[in-house]
Amino acid sequence: MDAGAAVETSPDFPIPETMKAWVLGNPSELALTRKPVPMPKRAEVLVRIDAVAICATDLEIIDHGSPALIQGGMPFNKNFTPGHEYMGTVVGLGPGVDEYRIGQRVTVEIHAGCGQCKRCRAGMYTSCLNYGLNYGELDKGHRANGFTTDGGFCEYQVNNINTLVAIPDGMSDEEATLVVTAGTAMYGLTELGGLVAGESVVVTGPGPIGLLGVAVAKALSASPVILTGTRDNRLRIGRELGADHVVNVRNEDAVEAVRRLNGGKGVDYVIECSGAPNAVNDAIRMVSRGGKVCLAAFPHQETPVDVAQIVRNNIYLYGIRGEGRSATHRAEALMSQKRFDATKIHTHTFALDDLPTAIRYAKDRVDDAIKVVVKAKGVAAHRVAASRLRALVSEMAGTSPAMTMHSEEMRAQRLRIRNVMRRASLRVSSRMSPVSRRRFGISMPATIGACHDQNVARTHAGERLARAQYRERTFEAAKVEGCFRHG
């Protein structure tokens, strides 16, 4: 970066001239290239990106273009870098910025509205009337990183100070990337008019926003909170995040179940996060008369809606876009006070270079992926963990051969290994490639009981399966270079 006189930087955070950046070519084509590190202007800072989460909207943009809008059109072949759910460290201050300091950890929200239109003035900057008018003669100062301006699948990005949320030291990089997701759920509740303790909420669809919607509603003392969905493993996480009841809609009628669980009258609010074709019709039957429905997901096709049901029952429908009215700050407040553990939805971390693999995990829900995070740095922590693991493994190798896989000693050792990995967000999966295992100095037979895919690690049957897989080396077929996982 050519740091102009008015841009403040620090020798503690040296800024290179160029950076790694993924750019979008034709639909679904990403290429890793180098770009100049951007320069913060007035009211902007330069953020070194430490972690970025993949969002369903990123997948939509990469494959279909919309809702990104680059130079007034589709984002393809315009040297555009997608990615928007990132966090990092402030390393450069634009002219006049004194709200943040260099070295401060921040997470970001996406939309810096123009600040001058009617909607921005009312705090609805995600619905800025000058959306995308940030180029050529028409530059209105609008930014929506990863949508109308370059985003976070790179090493550095500029952010308007209005889009920054300071985070405490105790919050991990991965958790910080989830603030914006919780912020979307918070914005939904804000737009419904706010939630009073004891009011009832249904969340439909246990995707990332739905699951954190459960957590946010519960943290605000909603009661009961009911989550509906089709996958038991997701519903189980919803329970861990505070849902009082979960309903698997494959097994029972969602509307009937909700009415039964809430005394027959229906609930105060529904937050619709499924985008299922009949979701709106279900939602307007789940709320009581005068109830409110927030639409946070959309089906890809137009769907018929029972308008008479809405009118006769004085039901309110709200469409929300993203996270306006500083909802991310309120979400972060709940998270830093540990009112819920958002990391329950973080499942995988990859290196920035492995973005295509990370995207495949997110898109195909490989290995039950929910939130997949990509990290440019953080390798140091993994190295520390790897050397600690090596020590534990050699310790294990020196133990008595009589020690069986299920002995107390072995169990304790496995626990120690697992804890080291957990602290470093490190996961050694049975699918990890031999190259990665060698890099981390991990001998598979010694650690397999502790470290292979945690989805099967919990049962002895799973352990036997993984050991058999190891023997047959079938896991080598699926190469997952550098695959880490939060414990």
Q: Which residues bind Zn ion (CB under 5 A)?
A: 55, 57, 113-114, 117, 120, 128, 130
At its nearest, how many Å lie between Zn ion and the CB of residue 274? Answer: 16
Token pair belonging to 230: 């089709």
Instruction: Considering the complex, state which of residue 246 and residue 359 has its C-beta at the smaller distance from Zn ion.
Output: 359
Instruction: Considering the complex, state which of residue 114 and residue 376 has its C-beta at the smaller distance from Zn ion.
Output: 114
At its nearest, how many Å lie between Zn ion and the CB of residue 130? Answer: 5
At its nearest, how many Å lie between Zn ion and the CB of residue 158? Answer: 18
Give the CA distances from residue 424 to residues 75, 173, 196, 387, 396, in Å, rounded to whole numbers and listed in that order. 36, 11, 38, 12, 20
At its nearest, how many Å lie between Zn ion and the CB of residue 297? Answer: 12
At its nearest, how many Å lie between Zn ion and the CB of residue 81? Answer: 15
Instruction: Considering the complex, state which of residue 117 and residue 331 has its C-beta at the smaller distance from Zn ion.
Output: 117
Tokens 């290239």 sit on residue:
33
At its nearest, how many Å lie between Zn ion and the CB of residue 458? Answer: 31
Q: Which residue is nearest to Zn ion (CB)?
A: 55
- Backbone conformation region of residue 172, classed left if phi is above 0, alpha if psi is from -120 to 50, else beta: beta
At its nearest, how many Å lie between Zn ion and the CB of residue 98? Answer: 24
Instruction: Considering the complex, state which of residue 114 and residue 283 has its C-beta at the smaller distance from Zn ion.
Output: 114
Between CA 68 and CA 423 the distance in angstroms is 36
Instruction: Considering the complex, state which of residue 57 and residue 190 has its C-beta at the smaller distance from Zn ion.
Output: 57
At its nearest, how many Å lie between Zn ion and the CB of residue 230? Answer: 22
Count of CB atoms within 10 A of residue 128's CB?
26
Instruction: Considering the complex, state which of residue 183 and residue 266 has its C-beta at the smaller distance from Zn ion.
Output: 183
End-to-end CA distance of the chain: 37
Instruction: Considering the complex, state which of residue 142 and residue 388 has its C-beta at the smaller distance from Zn ion.
Output: 142
Token pair belonging to 82: 């997608």
Residue partners of 109: CB distance under 8 A and separation at least 6: 163, 165, 180, 183, 322, 323, 328
At its nearest, how many Å lie between Zn ion and the CB of residue 436? Answer: 29
Instruction: Considering the complex, state which of residue 92 and residue 324 has its C-beta at the smaller distance from Zn ion.
Output: 324
Between CA 323 and CA 320 the distance in angstroms is 8
- Least Cα distance to 54 among 370, 481, 485, 483 occurs for 370
Instruction: Considering the complex, state which of residue 51 and residue 246 has its C-beta at the smaller distance from Zn ion.
Output: 51
The full DSSP string for 351-376 is: EGGGHHHHHHHHHHTGGG-SEEEEES
Give the CA distances from residue 391 to residues 71, 396, 432, in Å, rounded to whole numbers and listed in that order. 54, 9, 20
At its nearest, how many Å lie between Zn ion and the CB of residue 273? Answer: 13
Residue partners of 121: CB distance under 8 A and separation at least 6: 115
Instruction: Considering the complex, state which of residue 59 and residue 317 has its C-beta at the smaller distance from Zn ion.
Output: 59
Instruction: Considering the complex, state which of residue 128 and residue 243 has its C-beta at the smaller distance from Zn ion.
Output: 128
Instruction: Considering the complex, state which of residue 113 and residue 224 has its C-beta at the smaller distance from Zn ion.
Output: 113
Between CA 331 and CA 199 the distance in angstroms is 19
At its nearest, how many Å lie between Zn ion and the CB of residue 441? Answer: 36
Between CA 393 and CA 154 the distance in angstroms is 35
At its nearest, how many Å lie between Zn ion and the CB of residue 162? Answer: 11
Sign of torsion over alpha carbons 286, 181, 350, 74: positive
Which DSSP symbol is given to 13?
S
HEC states along 246-308? EEECCCCCHHHHHHHHCCCCCEEEEEECCCCCCHHHHHHHHEEEEEEEEECCCCCCCCCCCHH
- One-letter amino acid for residue 243 of the chain: A
Contact 34, 124 (CB under 8 A): no
Contact 179, 371 (CB under 8 A): no
